[in-house]
Structure 1
Amino acid sequence: MPNSSKPINSLLTCLILASVLNLPVSVIADENLAGKYYENALAAVRKPDVDAAIIELKNALQQNPNYVAAHILLSELFLQKKSLSEAEVHINLANQLGADRSLTVKALAQLYLYQIKYSLLLKEIQPSQFSVALQPDLHVFRGHAYLQLNQVSEALNEYDTAARIDPERIDAVIGRANALIRGNDLSGAAQAVDKAMSMQPDNAGIWYVNGTIKHVRGDLENAIKDYDKAIELLPDYQDARIARAGILMDLNQDQRAMADLTYLRENYPFDPKAAYLHAVTLARNGQKEASVKELETAADIIVSVKPEYLTQHSQTLMLSGLINYSLQRYDLAAEYLRQYVRTYPGQTGPYKLLATILLNKNEPEAVIDLLKPIVTGNPSDHRLLFLLGTAYMNVGKHDQAHALLEKASADGEGGDGSLHAEIGLNRLSMGQETLAIRDLEAAIQKNPANTQAGIPLVAIYIENRDAKNALRVAQGMHDRLPKNLTLLNLLGTAQIAGQNLKQARRSFEEAIELDPSFITAHINLSKLDVAEKKVDQAKQRLLKLNKQFPDNIALLIELATVDVALGANDSANQWLETARKIDQKSMPVLLAQMDLKIRTGRALEALAIGEAAELIDREDPQLLQALARAYLVTDNREKALSVYRRMADKAHFNVKKLYSVARYQMQAGDHVDAVKTLKKAVLADEKHIPSQIALTELELNYGKPVLAGNRAAYLLKEYPQRGFPHRLLGDIAARDQDFNLAAQRYQTAFDLEPDTALLMKLYQSLKQIGQSQKAFDLLSKWTKKNPQDLVPIAALAEELLQQGKLKEAQKHYEFLLSRYPNEPQFLNNLAYIYFNTGDGKALSYAEKAQQLAPEQASSNDTLGWILVNSGKAEQGLHYLRNAHSRMANEPEIRYHIAVALDKLGRKDEAMQELQQIVKSNLPFKDIEHARSLLEKLSQ
């Protein structure tokens, strides 16, 4: 019942998360009525009456759309009816709402098989992540997937693994027979069939396999009889119907075959084999148009869309290259320029342009091949040196790159620092931030008014929270160009970074004095107003400006932003609609609209905007990020991951961009591509510590632990006095179950760089090695020194709760609740404490916790148990069902359900729950009560 401790982020992080997620508040549900409908559905399933059960479940979801147990059961029932889209919807909703994956994974695996998503099944469904009782089912599903992919040995391994775990698994034996047939081992398959027949002679799968063996041996008539028997036992047997239809077609019995094929096309619309056979049958019977249509359908199912090839045409080569380069048609431009340099090799200009295009296309190897011989003949051409050096940098050959870029700087640098600026900007574009800062600073040293170098340098310093240097560079440029509005505005931004808000306001006001129509400065003043909690003042400032400049897009977007801060989302939407009417292709407007619609629960509208915006600019990184976010919110995960891959490609070797994309990929659970992205990042800059850390963690948890160990050892060698290498080595030791070594590593890291995250890792490792008192003392000592650090305080409160020191735990939870009054974990655990100490506030706290976190098993369990013990068993049962849906293997919840069923007079159902609890042998504090109740009900 108590919620286990979880990390509590800072208020700022919480606010950021809230702004990102901002899920809509669901309509207040009639929980009692929803629970009744669900119990009615269970009764209908037992009859069985699937259609009636579906109706009851839909009624339950009308009362409470977030009823996880109803979504889980509906997904199973829709799968029985082969309603795949409906099943998928409810599986996804159940998972989004926090369902225990052990309750949805079998349905998901079956869905993937029906949808012919074999590779996705193998990628996403890993039996080792689930209980031993569930693993045989998942191994069988994986065996089916491997078999469909014609990977026979892998399929046999999965079936045999399932049979080892559970020797009574008939489907594992049948799967093995099928795999042996696929491997042409008919005698082995026949032995497997004999074994299966002895186990379960009326199993449809056995008759299907027996028919398949005869089919392969050419005994077609007897094969049909076995297929007939399989379909008699299981009319919906897809493979048996396809096999029978195939034999009937071979025997020219098309009319009989058509019955099976029509059934299959109606019930399995995504099966390409059925579509293909149907097409052949139609063609043989003179229905050519219908046949072609079916063949196209089959092709659409199994063939991905081929990329389009750009057409070529003859024009003046150089002009065509220049024109297409200007239009950003880089493929055409590169082709024309390649032809040009082959025909006229004596000119360096086309080589430079072609190299620039190839770098834009992320083809640095091609640039190296192109320019190496040209640079040999033109060793003092600093632009050629610069391009070749950049190409070497892109492929990670930093020594060659450094030598060429240094020579380019020495040969081509004038007194204004322009080449240093250009090199710095290029390095910045590649994510080489440290080197970029060096070159940009060199440019500034030669010319403090060099805005080409200074403006991006200020931006870097602000991003890195180096306000002192940001202000130095910005002030230097402003002193030399005091009337430059852009620099005045930049100076104000740097002053904000340094917390000099009064000076910043003065800088923006000075810019406005120089030019009252300088909207950017007005908007920054508005942002200052909002930061100082003068939101109404900001709104009035912007409204006044809007009267003067009604068509200014940036102003309209800022008005929308302020209205969002005021909670006026409808008004914000109107401002953005106005902006879009002014410029339908404005990317900032489209992005702002997408963000607002996701915030307000209209994600599908956001997605429509994003997909339309993609037609305007497929390469805009902000759009790609927003589009991926919209895909994720609307459950189009694969499309989101595809967008992230595009972003990684677009990032080339820009370390910061690659790291950012990798974080998105990790958040979306695409760990394989995240590893690829991070490997590219560390190839570009092995000194980028965040990428090194993230890659080590990914390799440890989702890739190759050996590589993680090697990388962590390298980092320890490079940074022996930093905490993070020791922390990573501690993580590796913990994964290897060497908790003593993990504790040592974490202790070293904590001694070097103590922080809350390390504290919690050290605390957990000490618990693992049985040093609970030391772990407890560690928390106690830290919280005394850091009385506002909520994460360890929450862990300490949990410790006290588990030790039964309810009053001490209560004190900490009440303090935590004073800081976060709507944190369901604290409310739930306090409800538990109050319930056990007889405090009347227990029910109200439990109700509030469940309302705030209806997706958490613990909040539903606590509320349900309190209601059951308050004489409201029927009402409490509903919440306990919800708890079980999210934590299926927790015996205490099943015990509470059994008690509720017993109180409702449903003795048989209560006994079933109790038998499952006792059979599981999972320990919990009320196990003896469960045994006693089972004994009582069995009499």
Structure 2
Amino acid sequence: MKSYFPLNKLLLILALNPIQISFADDIQAGKFYEEALQSYRSQNNAEAIIQLKNALQQNQNYVAAHILLGEIYLKQKSLSEAEVQINLANQLGADRSLTVKPLAQLYLYQIKYNQLIKEIEPSNYGRELRPELHIFRGHAYLQLNLLSEALNEYEMAAQIDANQIDAIIGKANTLLRRGDMEGASQAAEKAMQMQPENADTWFARASIKHAKFAMEEALKDYDKALELLPDHLDARIARAGILMDLKQDERAEQDLEFLRKTYPFEPKAAYLHSVLLQRMGQTDASVKELEAAADILAGIKPEYLGAHGPTLMLSGLVNYGLQRLDIAADYLRQYVKQYPEQPGPYKLLAAILLSKHEPEQVIDLLRPVQLRNPNDHRLLFLLGSAYMQVGKHDMANSLLDKASAMNTEGENIHSEIGLNRLSMGQEQPAINELEAGFKDNPGNTQAGIPLVALYISRGESEKALRVAKAMHEKASKNLTLLNLLGTAQVSAQQLQQARRSFENAVELDPNFITAHLNLSKLDVAEKKLDQARKRLAALNQKTPNNVPILLELATVEQAAGNYDSANTWLENARKLDQKSLPVLLSLVNLKLKIGRPSEALAIAQAAELIEKNNIEVMDALAKSYLATNSREKALGVFIRMAEQARFNVKQLYKAARYQIENGDNFEAIKTLKKAVLADENHIPSQIALVEMELNYGKPVFALSRAENLLKQYPKRSFPHRLLGDIAVHEKNISLANTHYQAAFDLEPNAGALMQLHDILKKTSQADKAFDLLDQWVKKHPKDSVPMAALADELLQAGKLNEAEKYYDTLLKQFPQEPQFLNNLAYIFLTTGNEKALSYAEQAQKLAPDQASTNDTLGWILVNQGQAEQGLNYLRNAHSRLSQDPEIRYHIAVALHQLQRKDEARQELESILKSGESFNGIEQAKALLQKLKP
């Protein structure tokens, strides 16, 4: 077959890249390349490199040689050389499918995770490459600690190729990082069944056992991984660590010496070796290894090191060990900036700053962290120590007392795990662990206090009250627990008991401001605003310039509708503490409420400078952007909210709802996927994801998710409802009917009723649909939506008296609903009730842009002989619903009345020619006959 190449393109190539290589040189280059390939396959990489360099001397544009040379350098971890060769190959026009895998691996080695994700898009390549590319992206997301994204990539790889073992192992490692032990174990066991001789599989299983503190079992699996692949770096490091934990120092030293010899540029190995040598009393050797680790880390480019959290943390630890406190603090600052949700590094950084006598910095550092982790006794201790150093002894004593109360002998591993999972946003697993910890020791405040807070946030007031009472009984004079009991009682609507609890706290300590403020909140809740004002005024006089008191005064004034006074109190509070987020956020909400969006935005931006990644700050900022018509900026904030939410399913769902409400459907789907990965039992996220995939994403994914939900929740209605929606989307009305019927049978409610009603009508079961509504309304006479539908059915059927009865009932509930007024106006017109015009006018005034209200009013006016006025409304209706034949019929009648008979005839001919049926069609035909010449 002939192929044609454009002459102008050939001339361009010749001009840009003149041929300088003889035919003989090209042949020689090919020979060198083939020899190199044979050496490479024989694992003689040194000889292969020589032959490839020979080939490139003969032909510097030999693409295949560049590709192979890049791969060999990559295996040897000669990263800069590998990068040069891969880039040259791409510049010379290499098929990207040949270079994309080594490039992805290179980016992983270079810690260029974001660059990998940005540049390597699997959908740009053939099906055979996509699974591995998704896996590379999964590894990058995992290193960035973006676990939901990592899981998504691994799952996409497995969907394309179910036998892709690395996808299963990647999923196991990610679930382990997320704290989902059960899921991680299932994935690891699946990998084990697929490839029992894979070293990575054994490593994954060992890591899970390690995380469960099953040290001996983990050690056996690490042994197996290293038996299969002695050079497995991660397994060797993990085994050395576990041997150190088990005090098997000689074996640990063997592993670490192997690592230092085999991987001389691995800083973690040098650090662990230093720790072991220090424990063995070899101080000088330990320092030498620490210095070696520091030198390795110093050789990593700052932009790459800064992108990898574990290496940043290691840099902090290494330099802390060398007492290079300034350097250690710098690395730790970078780390906490990237991973603000982890309190541990904050504590190490705070300890460094305290040792440097910089308590003010500790206070600025730990205050927001302590607010996010109010029950971390170590944070309380460090913060209390900092306050003590600056002479704020009352604050210091309060914090240290709380730290002491929380750090009781009753603590157990369940509490530690629970708090850790809570910090990761894993609410239900956290509750499970905290409940176990509290059950073992009912006086365990470390488990009990966060447990009460969680129960209250979930609306489980009785459980919160039970735990609060149990703790209070163990320490009845503890003000914190007494106040907590009152809070739980408020949650359970036991307001009198709550008031007694807060009053008891005040009796025990008249200066306990928190209890005073809670009493004020009770006053507001019970509409006793004057009492609240007096209480707070006295408190403010006794303790002036107290920000929480000023905040509560503002709350009282807002409740009374005194927005100017509320603003004054908040501005006063802001003057006292410019960085108080509660004050700034309250001001934002108030400014938005009173219609000052620009001021709200300025305050929200100020809050962002203080704590950029605070979810509440982002919420306020986004609302302010929306109020100032900066939609795109608001959408950007919603994306940040989703990223910052990590695995907190409630926050993810909230961000997704914002995105849906503002039309950012693509990002909403991404956020909902994260939410489902964070907690697959969060039903609202599951439902929303199916709905969004169906309407704006990939319907096939919606179907798969809905079917899985049906298997998971066979006794619930919502999976059937979703499957019914999907069937409607696919125009499978019969299947939709089956699912909607099942949904209604399982959980009869108005929503399921209306869906079933609508689908019955579509399947020509109008009588059954009508009976369904009729029976429901008789049993549920206050259910307005089905009643409105029934009234509409009766209206369409011409049963005007019955329809009027229901519309009258509805109008008493909703006197300003234009559709009910409009439909009654139509009924009155038909039955000759003189109230028709007044009802139609009310409806049109309430809904002037609705076609139906304009049509009804116009038609009534035409029927009352006011064709000119009526035509105006009918034209308005037509402009909003131009294809409605009934409106055009009404216009024709008005034109006829106005003696514009030719125009009337044209309207009638047009609508009757279409063949559409409408109310009044027979009268239209008769009028047309009358108008024909």
Query: What TM-score results when the alignment is normalised by the length of structure 2?
Result: 0.54
The higher relative CO (CA closer than 8 Å, separation ≥ 6) is in 1
Q: 1:336 to 1:494 in 2, by over 3 A?
A: closer
Does the 8 A contact of 1:508 with 1:524 survive in 2? yes
Query: Whole-Å Cα distance in 1 between the matches of residues 417 and 578 of structure 2?
Result: 37
Which residue of 2 is the match for residue 439 of structure 1?
A: 433
- 1:838 alignment partner AA: G
Query: Whole-Å Cα distance in 1 between the matches of residues 537 and 891 of structure 2?
Result: 58
* Matching residue within 345, 348, 361 for 2:338: 361
Which residue of 1 is the match for residue 498 of structure 2?
A: 504
How many angstroms does 1:530 deviate by?
4.3
SS in 2 for 1:482: coil
Which residue of 2 is the match for residue 226 of structure 1?
A: none
The structure number with the bigger radius of gyration is 2
Which residue of 2 is the match for residue 468 of structure 1?
A: 462
- 2:816 alignment partner AA: N
Which residue of 2 is the match for residue 706 of structure 1?
A: 700
Query: Whole-Å Cα distance in 2 between the matches of residues 514 and 862 of structure 1?
Result: 71
How many angstroms does 1:798 deviate by?
2.1
- 2:711 alignment partner AA: K
Which residue of 1 is the match for residue 772 of structure 2?
A: 778
Which residue of 2 is the match for residue 831 of structure 1?
A: 825
How many angstroms does 1:826 deviate by?
2.8
- 2:722 alignment partner AA: L
5+ residue gaps, structure 1, are 1-314, 322-328, 368-412
Query: Whole-Å Cα distance in 2 between the matches of residues 636 and 681 of structure 1?
Result: 26
Q: For 1:762-802, what per-residue CA distance to the aligned partner results, in whole angstroms no more than 9, with x for missing partners?
A: 22221221112212222222222222222222222222222
Query: Whole-Å Cα distance in 1 between the matches of residues 445 and 484 of structure 2?
Result: 11
Q: For 1:583-612, what per-residue CA distance to the aligned partner results, in whole angstroms no more than 9, with x for missing partners?
A: 444333333333334334444443343334
- 1:842 alignment partner AA: A
- 1:645 alignment partner AA: I
Within the alignment, does 1:760 sit opposite 2:754 as a pair? yes
- 2:624 alignment partner AA: A
Query: Whole-Å Cα distance in 1 between the matches of residues 516 and 875 of structure 2?
Result: 56
Q: For 1:547-583, what per-residue CA distance to the aligned partner results, in whole angstroms no more than 9, with x for missing partners?
A: 6566444444444444444444444444444444444
* Matching residue within 813, 816, 837 for 2:807: 813
Query: Whole-Å Cα distance in 1 between the matches of residues 530 and 916 of structure 2?
Result: 58
Query: Whole-Å Cα distance in 2 between the matches of residues 515 and 895 of structure 1?
Result: 81
Which residue of 2 is the match for residue 124 of structure 1?
A: none
* Matching residue within 784, 787, 807 for 1:790: 784
* Matching residue within 793, 798, 801 for 1:799: 793
* Matching residue within 587, 607, 617 for 1:623: 617
Which residue of 2 is the match for residue 690 of structure 1?
A: 684
Shifted more, 775-784 versus 468-477: the winner is 775-784
Which residue of 1 is the match for residue 444 of structure 2?
A: 450
Does the 8 A contact of 2:483 with 2:501 survive in 1? yes
Query: Whole-Å Cα distance in 2 between the matches of residues 903 and 546 of structure 1?
Result: 76
Within the alignment, does 1:424 sit opposite 2:401 as a pair? no
Within the alignment, does 1:652 sit opposite 2:652 as a pair? no
Query: Whole-Å Cα distance in 1 between the matches of residues 536 and 836 of structure 2?
Result: 49
Does the 8 A contact of 1:648 with 1:658 survive in 2? yes
- Identity %, equivalent residues: 60
Which residue of 2 is the match for residue 675 of structure 1?
A: 669
Does the 8 A contact of 2:660 with 2:668 survive in 1? yes
How many angstroms does 1:647 deviate by?
0.6
Q: 1:420 to 1:875 in 2, by over 3 A?
A: farther
Within the alignment, does 1:611 sit opposite 2:588 as a pair? no
Which residue of 1 is the match for residue 487 of structure 2?
A: 493
Query: Whole-Å Cα distance in 1 between the matches of residues 751 and 882 of structure 2?
Result: 30
Which residue of 2 is the match for residue 109 of structure 1?
A: none
- 1:828 alignment partner AA: N
Which residue of 1 is the match for residue 129 of structure 2?
A: none
Q: 1:342 to 1:470 in 2, by over 3 A?
A: closer
Query: Whole-Å Cα distance in 1 between the matches of residues 567 and 927 of structure 2?
Result: 59
Does the 8 A contact of 1:415 with 1:446 survive in 2? no
SS in 2 for 1:807: helix
Matches within 5 A, 1:42-61: none
Which residue of 2 is the match for residue 632 of structure 1?
A: 626
Query: Whole-Å Cα distance in 2 between the matches of residues 562 and 835 of structure 1?
Result: 52
How many angstroms does 1:648 deviate by?
0.7
Q: For 1:627-647, what per-residue CA distance to the aligned partner results, in whole angstroms no more than 9, with x for missing partners?
A: 223333443322222111111
Query: Whole-Å Cα distance in 2 between the matches of residues 846 and 563 of structure 1?
Result: 42
Shifted more, 888-897 versus 788-797: the winner is 888-897
Query: Whole-Å Cα distance in 1 between the matches of residues 456 and 740 of structure 2?
Result: 32
Query: Whole-Å Cα distance in 1 between the matches of residues 578 and 340 of structure 2?
Result: 34
Q: 1:839 to 1:563 in 2, by over 3 A?
A: farther
- 1:714 alignment partner AA: N
Aligned length: 569
Which residue of 1 is the match for residue 739 of structure 2?
A: 745
Q: For 1:214-270, what per-residue CA distance to the aligned partner results, in whole angstroms no more than 9, with x for missing partners?
A: xxxxxxxxxxxxxxxxxxxxxxxxxxxxxxxxxxxxxxxxxxxxxxxxxxxxxxxxx
Does the 8 A contact of 1:334 with 1:357 survive in 2? no
Q: 1:358 to 1:581 in 2, by over 3 A?
A: closer
How many angstroms does 1:437 deviate by?
0.7
Does the 8 A contact of 1:362 with 1:652 survive in 2? no
Does the 8 A contact of 2:316 with 2:329 survive in 1? no
Query: Whole-Å Cα distance in 2 between the matches of residues 700 and 881 of structure 1?
Result: 37
Matches within 5 A, 1:557-568: 557-568=551-562
Within the alignment, does 1:735 sit opposite 2:729 as a pair? yes
Query: Whole-Å Cα distance in 2 between the matches of residues 673 and 352 of structure 1?
Result: 36
Query: Whole-Å Cα distance in 1 between the matches of residues 497 and 854 of structure 2?
Result: 53
SS in 2 for 1:781: helix
How many angstroms does 1:465 deviate by?
2.3
Which residue of 1 is the match for residue 280 of structure 2?
A: none
Q: 1:638 to 1:507 in 2, by over 3 A?
A: same
